[in-house]
Amino acid sequence: MDCREIDCKKFQDNFGPELIYQTYDPKTEMSGITVIDNTALGPAKGGIRMTSSVNVEEVFRLARTMTWKNALADLPFGGGKSGIIANVGTMTTKQKKSIVQSFGRAIKPITPNKYIAAPDIHMGEQEMKWLVKANGDFNAATGKPKNMCINNGKKCGIPHEFGSTGYSVSIAAIIAAKTQMIDIEGMSVAIEGFGNVGTFAAKYLEEAGAKIIAVSDSRGCAYNPTGIDITKLLKTKKKTGTVIKHKNIKIIPNDEIFKLSVDMLIPAALPDVINKSNVNKIKAKIIVEGSNIPMRENIERILFEKDKLIIPDFLANAGGVISSYAEYKGKSPEEMFSLIKKKMEKNTKNLLIRADMDNIMPRTAGLNIAKERVLKAMKRRKNI
């Protein structure tokens, strides 16, 4: 196992990163990256994604987002992230398990004192179970299965499959709509990505009265301007593996979802899906960033100058880290959802008030709040 620190200077500023940790196991061909960005507020917290394209720059960008997300959520966590370079589509379950276990052993020197892992793309509760067992520390990761417990069942896993991230996205979306005087009842919504975040965001928004008119996955986009029944769509997705097999929908290309005339657009899949090629075709009044870094800051500014309200990722999808904190502290799922609701309502309102008062982008307002908290913690640590 070859674990080493590499040069951080390419990305470094006053906030971090503190450590870029690369791992490789020739036996399993596991190749991993962990970036610990800033630990002034606490151990670095952030998920692990497994894709064939993940690289150091992407992991660093995500780790920095986690620094701001945890600070803005007012949690005692710093920012970190991991990536495992692997093509999930070509491997067996046995191969994936071996790779995850290898990564769990590789990060043992930095968990959980410096870094606490969690699920992300292609990594769920089962993978967290594999990782934690191989690592040997129950607190090495959150998002574990609910039946994985210690202390006679007093401290158990809270899987992200409970829908914590999608729940936080829905709360941020509802508050954003109210600030724009958009009635939630009948509000038209398009959701790019129908994984863990997109499915629960759709479910909770539909329950609130919104009309979900378009949902996409890797195989295409299901569109119906009169609305799609999300409960039925979930059944279709489970049965066929895709939303485009659903009845009473029109199949449109994935990139068309960004051009629809809707009240709200929720990107909930991969990074940089809103970019130079489609930014000027966005018609949605509000964009709630369900996924991490769905667009770069310069793209957000273009939309901001067109009077689009954008709820940034590190606020909107903070339900995952709030859930992680609840699990870390041994809280129940019910207590977890209550904590998300309380924090998301408070944090979204505070961010939008700050943005309005200072006449700045919501992202800038959120960053200012987060940076103030991190700098205060860095100064306190320096003086100790």
Tell me the backbone φ, ψ of residue 50, rounded to 5 degrees. Answer: -120, 105
Known catalytic membership, residue 285: no
Crossing angle for the helix pair 333-358 and 164-179, to the nearest 10 degrees: 30
**Which of 77, 107, 84 is closest to 327 using CA atoms?**
77
Q: Which two tokens stand for residue 177?
A: 């709509």
Provide the phi-psi class of 241: left if phi over 0, else alpha when psi is between -120 and 50, else beta: left
Which one of 9, 27, 45, 81 is the catalytic residue? 81
> HSE-up of 90 (CA within 13 Å, CB side)?
5
DSSP-H helix ranges across the chain: 56-72, 93-106, 125-135, 164-179, 196-208, 230-240, 297-304, 313-316, 319-328, 333-358, 362-383
State how far the Cα of 299 lies from the Cα of 286, in Å rounded to an integer.
Answer: 14
Strand, coil or helix: what is 332? Answer: coil
Catalytically active residues, by annotation: 81
